Amino acid sequence: MATNKIPPAPTWDLESIFAGGSKSADYKKHREQVKSDLEKAENMLAALPEAIDDGSLNAWAEFVLKLQDLYSNITLVIAFSECLASANVADNAADAITSEGYVYYSQWQKLRTELEARSLKQSDAAWEKLVAEPRVAPIKFYLNELRDIARSKMPVELESLALDLAVNGYHAWNQLYDKMAGGLRVDFEEDGKTTELSLGQLATKMSDANRDVRRQAFEKMTKAWESREDLAAMTLNAQAGFRLALYKRRDWESPLYEPLVMARMKQETLDAMWGVIDRETHKLQPYIEAKKKLLGIDKFRWYDQFAPCGAAEKLYPFDEAGEFIYDNIKPFSTDMAEFVKMALKERWVEAEDRAGKRGGGFCTGMGPRKLWRIFMTYGGSYENLLTLAHELGHAYHGWVLKEKPYFATRYPMNLAETASIFSETLVTDAALAQVTDPQEKLMLLDQKLQGAHTMFTDIHSRYLFDRSFYAEREKGVVGKERLRELMVEAQKKAFGPLLDESGYHPLFWCSKLHFYITDAPFYNFPYTFGFLFSGGVYDRAKEEGAVFADKYKALLSDTGSMTTEEVAQKHLGVDLTTEEFWNRAVSRAMADVDEFVKLAGSLR
C-alpha cells in the first residue's frame, strides 16, 4: 500500500454541476432564476395576509416552501463559486459571483426576517396551525426555532438594514481575507531546489518527518503573514466590531449568544465540556514527553505538533487511500462504504497538490442537486488520508439527509463534526486492529492522540483567544501587538506544559482562517464538541456492532430537527449539561497514552 512516490491525486468534477465554470451559461441561467424567484417571493410576501387562519393557511404554507426552495438554490450559487475560487485563486469571476450570491442571500435573509417578525404577531394556536400543515410539518422544528430567535432581534426594519450593510461590509471582509490568504506565496527550499508554494501546499509540510522542513514551513508561513499582519488586524477588528454593534442593538449580553444559538446548544453544556478539558489536559504530558524522545528534541514547539512518529515515511496513493477507507468502513456499515466508493468514483474530491489553490479543506453541498464536493490538498500522508475520511464523513451526513426538506437538513456545526470525526475514528481503529508492524502501530496511535491533543490545546486556545479578544474589542480597536499577546496568553493557558515557551505561535490569530469566517463566530468549540461527542457515538457502535449502523443513520437524520442536547438524550441517553458524559469522553480520548508511551519506549 505504501510507496515513496505517489501519482498525482485527482481533481474534482464540477462540469457535471455547471459546465463551463464561472463562465457557464447554465450557471448564469440558474442565478437569473434565483433573482426572478426572489422577486416572486417578495410579491408573495406583500400579498400575504397578516394573520394565519383557515383562509390564509395555504398562502402562508406556499410562502414558507418558496423560502425553503430559494435557500437551497442560493446555497448552490455560493457553494459552486466558492469551489471554483478555492481550486483556482486567480478565478476573479468566481469571486465576483460569490459576492453576487451573498447579495441574493441577504435578500433571502430579509424575507426570512419579515417572516420572523410576522410570526411574533400570530397567536400560538395560529402558528401551530401553520407548522401542523402537512407540507410544512416536516420543517416544524426549523420554523419554531425561527420564531423563538425572532424574539431576541431588533425591529424588522433595522434587521433588514443590517443585512443590507453586511453584504458589502461584514461579509466583504471575509472575502478580502480569503483573497489575501489565497494570493500569498513563499519560496521553499527542499532537496537542493527552490519551489514557489501556496499556503495550502506549505501546510502539508508541517507534518513532514524532517524537523528542518517543518521549521522552514512554519517560519515561511509566519513571514508571509507578517507582510499582511496590518490588513489581517484591520479585518479581524472590523468583523468583530460589526458583530458587537449588532449584538448591542439586539441586547445580546454575550458574544457567545449567537454561536450557541447557531450550535443549538446550552451554555451549561459548553462550560461542562471546557471545564473537564481544562482539568484533564495535563494527562497528555507523558505522550508529549515520549514523542519528544522519539523525535530527538528537548523543546516541543508549535511546528512539532504534527511531526509523525513510527512509519513516517509511508505515503498512501490517493486511490489506495480510498480503498483503505472503504475496506475499514465496510465492516461497520455497507451503506456508508458504498457511499464512499460512489463519491470517489464520481470524482467528488479535489485533491491535487498544486500551486494556485487555497489552503485547508472542506465539504460543501450543492443545494437542490443533492450532491457534495470535497476540497483538500492531498500529499499522501496518513494525516491526509484521515482528512479524506473526515470530509467523506461530512458528505455521508448530507447524503443521509438528502430526502428531507432542505430546512430539515440544516444541522449545526458541532453536530456536523460528529459524522466526520466518527469516520476518522472508525478508519483508524480498524487499521489498529489489523496492524502487525510496531512502527505502523505507533503511527496510528500517534494520529489518535494527536487528535486529542489538537482538540484540547489548539482548539481550546482559539476559543480562549476569541473570548479575550471580544472582551477587549468591546472597549475599542485591538492593535496587532496586543493580538499577538492575547494569542500567546491563550496558548499558554490551553497548552500548559505541553508546549515549550519558545514554541508559541503569536501570529496564529492572523494565519488561521477560522477567525475570519463571518458565517460562524467562535468557529472553534464545535470541533472539540464533535470530537468528544462522536467518541460517545463510536463507543455505542463498538458495543452494538453492525446493528448500530441503522441507529447511526437515525441519529444523523435527527441532527437537523433537534437541539444538540435532545439528540444526545434521544440517541445516547446522556445529559450533556453535566460533567459525567465529558469525563468519560475525555478519558476515552486519552486512553491510548500508556500504550503509546510503552511502545515508543520499546522502539527507541
In a domain, 558, yes or no: yes
Do 220 and 274 share a domain, yes or no?
yes
> Which triple of cell numbers denotes residue 343?
463519491
Do 268 and 155 share a domain, yes or no?
no
Do 157 and 246 share a domain, yes or no?
no
558 C-beta neighbours (distance < 10 Å), count: 18
Residue 569 burial by CB count (10 A; 0-12/13-18/19+): exposed, middle or buried?
middle
Find the helix packing angle between 57-87 and 170-183, rounded to 10°. 20
In a domain, 344, yes or no: no
Do 148 and 216 share a domain, yes or no?
no
In a domain, 263, yes or no: yes
In a domain, 54, yes or no: yes
In a domain, 436, yes or no: yes
Do 123 and 263 share a domain, yes or no?
no
Do 110 and 255 share a domain, yes or no?
no
367: left (phi over 0), alpha (psi -120 to 50) or beta: left
Instruction: Among 112, 135, 168, identify where a domain stops.
Output: 168
Instruction: Among 168, 202, 233, identify where a domain stops.
Output: 168
In a domain, 99, yes or no: yes
pLDDT for 1 equals: 47
List, as one string, the DSSP characters of 17-39: TSTTGGG-HHHHHHHHHHHHHHH
Q: At a CB cut-off of 8 Å and minimum separation 6, what does 348 contact? A: 12, 13, 371, 372, 373, 374, 395
Q: In this structure, are residues 12 and 349 in contact, taking their beta carbons and an 8 Å threshold?
A: yes
Q: In this structure, are residues 409 and 138 in contact, taking their beta carbons and an 8 Å threshold?
A: no
Q: Which residue, 342, 348, 338, 341, is CA-closest to 16?
A: 348
Q: Across the strands, what pairs with 198?
A: 185
In a domain, 57, yes or no: yes
Query: Cα torsion at 404, 407, 413, 419 (round to 10°)?
Result: 0
List, as one string, the DSSP characters of 225-278: HHTTHHHHHHHHHHHHHHHHHHHHHHT---TTHHHHHHHT--HHHHHHHHHHHH
The model's pTM: 0.88
DSSP 281: G
* Phi, psi dihedral angles at 195 (to 5 degrees): -125, 140
**297 sits in which H/E element:** none
Q: Which residue range is the domain that position 144 belongs to?
A: 21-168
Do 164 and 277 share a domain, yes or no?
no
Q: How far apart are CA 307 and CA 450, in angstroms?
A: 10
Radius of gyration over alpha carbons of the chain, in Å?
A: 24
Q: Which residue, 437, 395, 412, 392, is CA-closest to 561?
A: 412
pLDDT for 314 equals: 76
In a domain, 341, yes or no: no
Do 406 and 302 share a domain, yes or no?
yes
Do 490 and 590 share a domain, yes or no?
yes
Helix, strand, or coil (residue 293): helix
Q: How far apart are CA 104 and CA 96, in angstroms?
A: 13
Single-letter residue type at 537: V
Q: What parts of the chain have a pLDDT lower than 70?
A: 1-4, 312
> Which triple of cell numbers denotes residue 7?
501519482
Q: How far apart are CA 272 and CA 574, in angstroms?
A: 13
CATH number at residue 306: 1.10.1370.20
Q: What would the pLDDT profile of 55-111 be if each residue is shown by its tens digit?
A: 999 999 999 999 999 999 999 999 999 999 999 989 999 999 999 999 999 999 999
Do 246 and 152 share a domain, yes or no?
no
459 C-beta neighbours (distance < 10 Å), count: 21
Q: How far apart are CA 137 and CA 56, in angstroms?
A: 17
Domains of the chain: total = 2
Instruction: Among 110, 135, 168, identify where a domain stops.
Output: 168
Q: In this structure, are residues 270 and 194 in contact, taking their beta carbons and an 8 Å threshold?
A: no
Do 452 and 488 share a domain, yes or no?
yes
Do 514 and 408 share a domain, yes or no?
yes
**198 sits in which H/E element:** strand 193-198
CATH number at residue 145: 1.20.140.70
